[in-house]
Amino acid sequence: MAREERELICINCPLGCPLVVTLEDGVVQSVAGNTCKRGDAYGRKEVTSPTRIVTSSVPVDGSARDTMVSVKTATDIPKDKIFDVMRALEGVRLSAPVAIGDVVVADVAGTGVDVVATRRA
Amino acid sequence: MASDQYDVVIVGAGVSGCAVARELSRYEARVCVVERADDVCCGTSKANSAIVHAGFDAQAGSMMARLNVEGNKLMRELAEELNFALVPCGSLVVCTDAQTRPALEALLERGVANGVEGLRIVERDELVSMEPNVSDEAVCALWAPTGGIVDPFGLCVALAENAATNGVEFLFNAGVEGVERDDDEWLVRTKAGTLRTRCVVNAAGVYADELHNMVADKKMRIVARKGEYYLLDTTAFGHVRHTVFTLPTKMGKGVLVSPTVHGNVIVGPTATDVEDKESVDTTAAGLAEVVAKCGIAVRDVPLREVITTFAGLRAHEEHHDFIIGEVEGAPGFVDCAAIESPGLTSCPAIGRMVADIVRGICDLQERPADEIVRTRPGVVNLLATSREDWNDLVAKDPTYGNLVCRCCRVSEAQIVDALHRPIPATSIDAIKRRTGCTMGRCQGGFCTPKIMAIMERELGMAPTQITKCGPGSELLVQEGGE
Amino acid sequence: MLSYDVVIIGGGPAGLAAAIAARESGCERVLVIERDDRLGGILNQCIHNGFGLHTFKEELTGPEYAARYEDRAHEVGVEFSLGSMVIDVSSDLVVHAVSQERGVYGVQAGAVVLAMGCRERPRGALAIPGYRPAGIYTAGTAQRLVNMEGQMPGREVVILGSGDIGLIMARRMTLEGAHVACVAELMPYSGGLKRNIVQCLDDYGIPLLLSHTVTRIEGRKRVEAVWIAKVDEQRRPIPGTEVRYACDTLMLSVGLLPENELSREAGVALSPVTRGPLVDESLQTSVPGVFACGNVLHVHDLVDYVSQEADAAGRCAAHYALGKRSPDVQEDGPAEAERVLLLEVESGVRYTVPSTIDPARMDERLTVRFRVDNVYRDRFVSVYVGDERIMHRKKRVLAPGEMEEVVLKRADLLERAHAERIVVKLEED
């Protein structure tokens, strides 16, 4: 049976509790070091399926004011897909007008999540 | 090649070289200034105390003493003609130890001998009323009403622009690699090509010895003497009203504390001889020395208002006098060397003296007066412009209403102007020297991207070609160029 | 001359929230003067997420957060002068600005709200020895270049200072293909949010070197290397600990300074601690009719608090312009003797905003914000009115990078009629 301990810092509040998450065969057995329930939940998620929102900006044509439009993944995506998302954004150019929420890349990097604009242009 | 044939080639576009160029532009002569940097005013001329010295420091009878006092007088009319900032704030040499008073009196005598006008010693009470933040130890001071402060960039750019307007050519990024005699002429080999000339003026600053030694039997040695400074924000302005020097004490030479024409306060310099003539870096020891010494003559110097620190190199020669004249055994090669402080003050007089020497060598004829433009319009200074005048400017050119630099109040129009003047600015620092942009408290944090956009538009440059101070100082890296 | 009830200087998050509040408090004519050609201020370049958790209960990016306030400001009828730089504010509330379209123009205000934000401390202010080559950027300037201009300031980066912008830029540069060698922090703790340390540094294996600083910059034209040394408890570099990092870029995230040049020239008294105006319970400065909010008042870490503070400043400015006293005070109620309580700080607390309170003029509840001077664990935040402790709240952790607040009740202050001061401090028990 593969037993593993992972050390993390909880990000829920400024306290920054040092967490020790114990896994057995990839299944969380316990979270230690936390001082509240949110720390327990964070520890479990962070070792099993850590996710992040990715933000970037891409060039836009035809806007009098803007050179770039900021974008984000509409929801969080698996952490190990961050650079895949960045690669998918390479070469993407938008044309004005752009509205907040416009889909820039659909189902980016096979995550099932769209990249959407976060700025009007 | 005929196009590379000159009467005079001036090496170095600092204040000396530019002053000589401007004076020579009055004559029928083809003149070229060659400069290793991308702009004028990139060496000693740009990093100094920016003081117009009264002239009591130099040894009586020296060339330095004569040119200082003469330069001080000429500077006032020059500022009028060429539109650069000069403020006659006067200077004080503060004595903080009664035992050293004889030294202050010796300075007074020397000044009188040098022909400095208006010098007198002020006692503590008067001193405090003149300079309320003078230190508690201050005993008395030498008051020099002819002392002042100048915009060293403005001065140098103005001289160069006026020279250019009158036909002097400028060759930048043209470091000199060799000077050789060829028949009756000189060949000046630069990184930007070889120039043939009847006369060479060596105004190469800390490198004047290298140039001199290429042609002279009697060798010269210029030592780079580093001076480090603190520049304080305009919020510190008014802490001193005059240029305040410290009379040397047992602890050594002090530093000066002075207002600048840009509304800042300057504190420095140190004096350290360095081997490397490129080492314009500040050092922990040097900056600590400025901090330690600034309080000797002035109390509570608000160093926390510092916006930048910098270092400059003076071209020091062991005899501590200017070296100006045709070099023995090298006919037509004229030294304008060892121009250390008070070189900035002396430059109008240096320009005349060197031009006279060159004129004699080349037998130059004066151009008709109506061919020569003696004045130069300056770059607009919005800080010194009334609301009404500012409105008139915006009416003529709306971009005077688009402020790019919030710290120093510089508009788009002034930056565009700097890019298209007789000596066009081609880098961020060159724009700074002409407009003041990036010189303020944010040190370019807000305005740099905006200036870049204007350069891109006006000069058709790619953003990645834009430099801080010439090739090698690109602000950006190529996209995707790992 | 143009005339407005309330003129707000700055169209960033503070200015927008203040303008909306001023309109909603009954002012007909509210003008925002913004120097940029767009509203939103610094939020435009803060393209990362994490804004608005308190206000909207969701994680927005900076531009999205700004857009919500911008839309609302338009809805309620706020007027705007974009591309206009304010050049002076007089004590009789005339604001002068300049723009391409209008030249220099004056606006008479019934009340002025200062919302100019802050600027970054530049390299020069740190007096780091060395050359002054290209490649030294404040993190915010680099952020603008990357996010708004699409330009790349460098490939091999060292960051000095662990403020949030520095941390955010460590990630951003990494995502854009640069290598960030390390983040050096002078203090023994980071000034940034824990979440940013994990998600911007740890995620990408970027080391955070606490108690380290840059001691030298190499490179005459462009940065070629920086030297980083460990510092002792007095924050002095320890000889022999220097390590050379070859790099082309040094990015600085070493502090933000409220931008109060206009305020100073208008005669507004400034705090030497925050470098922002000293304000009373209505966020009014020492110049009557001039109010302040957001980063020009004191540097915030969360935009939500900026919006809250600006909302209060906008309301109070509106009431001033309309000739009322305070939102909660009956206009024709009994005129109580003015009694101004000084807010003072002791052990562990660096400053408070506001710095004076007149209980008769305050809202029923007043938020007092403050920062601590070090990292503390298990301390009590205590508030004394006169000699009496009226609040004693345990905090697990307090850090300089996290703004704190206490809420004072008017009743508590009115009850203690003889007290002259309020003290906010940290206590061990």
DSSP state string for C93-139: SEEEEEETTTEEEEEEEEEEEE---EEEPPGGGGT--B---B-EEEH
Identify whether residues C128 and C249 lie together within a single domain. yes
CB-CB under 8 Å, B479 with C153: no
Question: Do B8 and B199 touch, CB atoms closer than 8 A?
Answer: yes
Classify domain A55-117 by CATH architecture.
Roll (3.10)
Domain boundaries, chain A: 3-48, 55-117
Identify whether residues C250 and C260 lie together within a single domain. no
CB-CB under 8 Å, C197 with A100: no
Identify whether residues C167 and C89 lie together within a single domain. no
**A118 inside 8 A of chain C by CB:** yes
Overall average pLDDT of the B456-463 stretch: 95
Closest approach of chain B CAs to the CA of C334, in angstroms? 44
CB-CB under 8 Å, C198 with A118: no
Q: Identify the closest residue of chain A to C203 by CA–CA distance.
A: A79
**Gap between the Cα atoms of B459 and B453, Å rounded:** 10
What pLDDT was estimated at residue A26?
A: 85
Higher pLDDT, C59 or C308: C308
Structural domains for chain B: 2-45+153-221+319-371 (3.50.50.60), 91-145+223-316 (3.30.9.10), 382-465 (1.10.10.1100)
Q: What is the pLDDT of residues B358-398, one digit of tens each?
A: 999 999 999 999 999 999 999 999 999 999 999 999 999 99
**A14 inside 8 A of chain C by CB:** yes
Residue B352 has pLDDT above 50, yes or no: yes
By the 10 Å C-beta count (0-12 exposed, 13-18 middle, 19+ buried), B300 is classed as exposed
Q: What is the pLDDT of residues B154-191, one digit of tens each?
A: 999 999 999 999 999 999 999 999 999 999 999 999 99
Closest approach of chain C CAs to the CA of A77, in angstroms? 13
E-strand stretches of C135-195: 136-138, 156-160, 179-185
Torsion of CA A100, A103, A107, A109, to 10 degrees: -80
Q: Which two tokens stand for residue C271?
A: 């705090």
Q: If pLDDT is split at 50, 70 and 90, which confidence band does B441 have?
A: confident
B265: enclosing H helix or E strand: strand B265-268
The owner of tokens 């531009």 is: C63
Provide the chain C residues 100-119 that lie in CB contact (below 8 A) with chain B. Answer: 100-104, 119
Last residue of a domain, one of C226, C254, C282: C254
ipTM reported for the complex, 2 dp: 0.92
* C93 half-sphere exposure, CB direction, 13 A CA radius: 23
Q: Which two tokens stand for residue C269?
A: 């008294």
Partners of chain B (3+ Cβ pairs below 8 A): C
Phi-psi region of B205 (alpha: psi -120 to 50; beta: other; left: phi over 0): left
Closest approach of chain B CAs to the CA of C378, in angstroms? 34
CB-CB under 8 Å, B449 with C145: yes
β-sheet bridge partners, residue C376:
C398
3-state helix, strand, coil split of chain C in percent (to 5) is: 25, 35, 40
Hey, what long-range contacts does B381-384 have (CB within 8 A, 24 or more apart)? B381/B85, B381/B436, B382/B409, B382/B410, B382/B411, B382/B414, B383/B263, B383/B408, B383/B409
What pLDDT was estimated at residue C266?
A: 96
Identify whether residues C393 and C246 lie together within a single domain. no
What pLDDT was estimated at residue C332?
A: 47
Query: Got the DSSP string for B383-431?
Result: GGS-HHHHHHHHHH-GGGGSEEETTTTEEHHHHHHHHTSSS---SHHHH
Identify whether residues C4 and C152 lie together within a single domain. no
Identify whether residues C51 and C22 lie together within a single domain. yes
Identify whether residues C250 and C127 lie together within a single domain. yes
Last residue of a domain, one of C267, C294, C324: C324
DSSP state of C176: T
What pLDDT was estimated at residue A17?
A: 84
What pLDDT was estimated at residue A1?
A: 64
Counted domains in chain C: 3
**Gap between the Cα atoms of C365 and C374, Å rounded:** 28
What pLDDT was estimated at residue B425?
A: 97
Residue B237 has pLDDT above 60, yes or no: yes
What pLDDT was estimated at residue B2?
A: 47
3-state helix, strand, coil split of chain B in percent (to 5) is: 35, 25, 40
Question: Do C114 and C277 touch, CB atoms closer than 8 A?
Answer: yes
CB-CB under 8 Å, B403 with C35: yes
Q: Provide the mean pLDDT of chain C.
A: 94
Q: What is the pLDDT of residues C211-264, one digit of tens each?
A: 999 999 999 999 999 999 999 999 999 999 999 999 999 999 999 999 999 999
Nearest to A68 among C37, C147, C194 (CB): C147
The percent of residues in chain B predicted with pLDDT above 70, rounded, is: 98
Overall average pLDDT of the B226-238 stretch: 95
Q: Identify the closest residue of chain A to C148 by CA–CA distance.
A: A68
Q: What is the pLDDT of residues B41-78, one digit of tens each?
A: 999 999 999 999 999 999 999 999 999 999 999 999 99
Q: Crossing angle of helices B343-362/B15-24, nearest 10°?
A: 40
DSSP state of B111: H
Closest approach of chain A CAs to the CA of C195, in angstroms? 5
C345: enclosing H helix or E strand: strand C341-345
Hey, what long-range contacts does C337-343 have (CB within 8 A, 24 or more apart)? C339/C417, C340/C280, C341/C385, C341/C413, C341/C419, C341/C420, C341/C421, C341/C422, C342/C420, C342/C421, C342/C422, C343/C368, C343/C421, C343/C422, C343/C423, C343/C424
Q: Is the bond leading into C237 cis (omega within 30 degrees of zero)?
A: no
Residue B218 has pLDDT above 60, yes or no: yes
Q: What is the pLDDT of residues B15-33, one digit of tens each?
A: 999 999 999 999 999 999 9
| Interface probe, candidates C128, C132, C235, C247, chain B, greatest B C-beta count within 10 A | C132
**Gap between the Cα atoms of B84 and B67, Å rounded:** 20
Which residues in chain C have Cβ-Cβ distances shorter than 8 Å to B394? 98, 100, 103-104
What pLDDT was estimated at residue B482?
A: 37
What pLDDT was estimated at residue C39?
A: 98
Q: What is the pLDDT of residues B205-217, one digit of tens each?
A: 999 999 999 999 9
Q: Is position B320 annotated as part of the catalytic site?
A: no
Hey, what long-range contacts does A63-66 have (CB within 8 A, 24 or more apart)? A63/A96, A63/A97, A63/A98, A63/A121, A65/A121, A65/C37, A65/C38, A66/A96, A66/A119, A66/A121, A66/C148
CB-CB under 8 Å, C102 with B308: no
**Range of lowest pLDDT (A4-8, A83-87, B329-333, C66-70):** A4-8
Residue C312 has pLDDT above 80, yes or no: yes
Helix and strand numbers, DSSP H then E, in chain B: 12, 22
pLDDT lower than 50: segments of chain A: none
Overall average pLDDT of the C334-352 stretch: 83
**A67 inside 8 A of chain C by CB:** yes
Residue C324 has pLDDT above 70, yes or no: no
Q: How many CB pairs under 8 A join B and C?
A: 134
**Range of lowest pLDDT (B17-21, B320-324, B440-444):** B440-444
CB-CB under 8 Å, C147 with A11: no
**Gap between the Cα atoms of B93 and B439, Å rounded:** 28
Q: Provide the mean pLDDT of chain B.
A: 95
Give the range of the structural domain holding residue C207, as residue numbers without chain letter: 122-254
**Gap between the Cα atoms of B92 and B111, Å rounded:** 13
Residue A14 — φ and ψ, nearest 5°?
-65, -15
Identify whether residues C316 and C337 lie together within a single domain. no
Residue C333 has pLDDT above 90, yes or no: no
Identify whether residues C130 and C250 lie together within a single domain. yes
Nearest to C100 among B230, B399, B469 (CB): B399
Q: Does the global pTM surpass 0.95?
A: no
Residue C206 has pLDDT above 90, yes or no: yes
Angle at B441 between CA C296 and CA B53, to 5 degrees: 145
Q: Which two tokens stand for residue B68?
A: 């200082």
| Interface probe, candidates B39, B282, B301, chain C, greatest C C-beta count within 10 A | B282
Nearest to C140 among B278, B445, B482 (CB): B445
Overall average pLDDT of the C75-79 stretch: 98
What pLDDT was estimated at residue C153?
A: 97
Q: Could you tell me the strand order of the sheet in which C136-138 lies?
A: C136-138, C249-252, C156-160, C179-185, C208-210
**Range of lowest pLDDT (A1-15, B93-107, C82-96, C132-146):** A1-15
Last residue of a domain, one of C211, C233, C254: C254
Residue C336 has pLDDT above 90, yes or no: no
